[in-house]
Amino acid sequence: MSLTNHIAQEFYNRFQKQPALVMAPGRINLIGEHVDYNEGFVMPAAIDKHFVFAMTPSGNEKCNILAFDYDEGVSFSIHDLNPGEEWINYLMGVLDGFGRRGLLPGGVDCVVGGNVPGGAGMASSAALCSGFAFGLNHIYNHQQERLTLARIAQYAEHEFAGVNCGIMDQYASLFGEKNAALFLDCRSLIHQTIPISLDSHRLLLVDTRVKHSLASTGYNDRRASCEEGLAVIKKKYPEVIALRDVTRTMLYECQDKLGDDTFIKNMFVVEEIDRAQRAAERLQRKDMQGFGDLMFEAHWGLSQAYDVSCEELDFLVMLAEEDKHQVTGARMMGGGFGGCTINLVAAGQEEAFKEKVRQKYFATFKKEPEFYDVQLSQGVHVI
């Protein structure tokens, strides 16, 4: 029985009614890292790892929600939405976001389960929030636009649950298209669809299975560095709104006032925004080799200039670089300090690459990596 059928059956067994069914995917980001909070360009794509929601209005103010994978249920009133520590916090945040817009006429009965790996950089929490927001919109026939749902999902994660995040993850989950990436302008929140044919290549994520302690503070430190640099640059160039507007020339002119560390990190952001635009052009030309070269270039910028990589991530990318006929491009994906690399692997070379990585990674770190083959899939939708 499929995951969808399991979820639907569990819902019927518990609530004795037929639910609406919604599928919400996780996401990858092909290129454009740490630039969303600088109003830059990113290239996320929805993937075939997803959550399935079975939902109906509850008929009163009560919410009855079951996490299928944990066999753990929670019941509460829509008038009693208090942030906590558990998984339910994200869904409460979505309900709160609807309530603040006057869009919560009653509660919900829901069973949710899925196969988006947590902590592997595939935005599982964003998929959870986006899918639940879409489902509420559907069962209550609110007809809110997907961008509004993305903002509600971001509110749930960022404001209600207190997790630092931009809107890229929620946007990718809601707007994703099958066999395509989204070239997203983080200023206008308008995207261009870039079809990606994976006939000659496969996308493979390799999870280091480590998360270094710098992960949370490191993100905030990098963000602060960007804000410090921007404040200095604006004194000379008041028309600048974000690092997205800054050129290399402007940075060099302000170098003395920025200090070495801020200059280097700000330069990475400026270069990564440019790199994402060049990457989009290469993908549109179906230049996979050229795109792969930019992936490697982006990784070493993240590692050496932005300083958000780690020994394990660098090791995996060096393994990928050993044979360009096997792996066309690779880089760390996500906030850094652990998590996954994303690898553009030549079709037919996946198993050989996995075996090489498995052996050498274990020999070096005494830890088994995790592998995820991913396809580019449709965004949140009713099944």
Which residues are 285's β-sheet partners? none
Q: What phi, psi does 54 have (nearest 5°)?
A: -110, 125
Give, in order, the Cα–Cα distances in Å from 41 to each of 233, 270, 272, 280.
20, 11, 9, 10
What is the Cα 175 distance to its own chain's centre?
A: 13
Q: How many helices (H) and strands (E) does the chain have?
A: 12, 13
Q: CA–CA separation, 309 vs 320, rounded Å? A: 16
Which residues are CB-neighbours of 51 under 8 A, at least 6 positions away?
23, 24, 112, 113, 114, 116, 124, 127, 128, 131
Which residue is associated with the tokens 């009614």?
A: 17
Residue 151: Cβ within 10 Å count: 19
For the chain, what percentages of helix, strand and coil (3-state, to nearest 5) are there?
45, 25, 30
Which parts of the chain are beta strand (E)? 20-29, 41-42, 44-57, 62-67, 72-77, 108-114, 180-185, 190-195, 201-211, 327-333, 338-346, 370-374, 381-382
What is residue 301's DSSP assignment? I
Which residue is associated with the tokens 């996780």?
A: 26
Which residue is associated with the tokens 């509660």?
A: 107
Tokens of 244: 């997205």
The single residue of 36, 109, 169, 245 carrying the catalytic annotation is 169
Which residue is associated with the tokens 């809107």?
A: 167
Which residues are 51's β-sheet partners? 24, 114
Q: CA–CA separation, 324 vs 284, rounded Å? A: 21
Render 155-206 in DSSP notation, one character per residue: HIIIIIS-----SHHHHHHHH--TTEEEEEETTTTEEEEEE---SSEEEEEE
Is there a catalytic annotation at residue 185? no
Q: CA–CA separation, 113 vs 7, rounded Å? A: 7
Active site positions, annotated: 169
